[in-house]
Amino acid sequence: MIININSREYQLIFGVGFVRTLDEKYFIKNQAGMKFGTGLSQRIPSLLTHDPVTLAEFLYEGTCTEDKKPTQKEIDAYIDNCEDMEALFDEVCSELKKANATRKMMKDLTQELEEETAKRKPKARK
């Protein structure tokens, strides 16, 4: 996925480096003090419910392989000025469903969200 900010193209890659970056920020520790990354499991649900802060974080961290990354401020402005934010969410989710490092977690969490949403819908009266 490529985004264009201030006439510069940035390649977004949702690979192992992307996951590692999220896991450095989002983790749990066990009693022995070992860290277990939970970046995807914590952030994908927010993305699926169209949280713009999570979208900004994914766009920013998705540029982790770029030599020159955009700033968070530039990413925020990119989203603020986006004409079709719904399509941007869909494109990021689509890319996450394709990438080796994120595909399984994206599938599982999407399914869980759909099941939970179905449970909460009121049943139609007959």
CA-based angle 102:69:26, to the nearest 5? 45
Q: pLDDT at residue 5 above 80?
A: yes
DSSP class of residue 69 equals P
Q: CA 122, 112, 40 angle in degrees (round to 5)?
A: 140
Residue 96 has pLDDT above 90, yes or no: yes
Residue pointed to by tokens 């970046």: 39
Per-residue pLDDT averaged across 98-125, rounded?
Answer: 87
Q: What is the pLDDT of residues 38-94, one digit of tens each?
A: 999 999 999 999 999 999 999 999 999 999 999 999 999 999 999 999 999 999 999
Residues listed for the chain: 126
> Which residues are CB-neighbours of 50 under 8 A, at least 6 positions away?
85, 86, 89
- pLDDT in the model for residue 117: 82
DSSP 29: E
Copy the structure tokens of residue 126: 């007959």
Question: Mean pLDDT over all residues of the chain?
Answer: 93
For residue 14, which amino acid is it?
Answer: F
Residue 55 has what pLDDT?
98
Here the tokens at position 92 are 């990021």
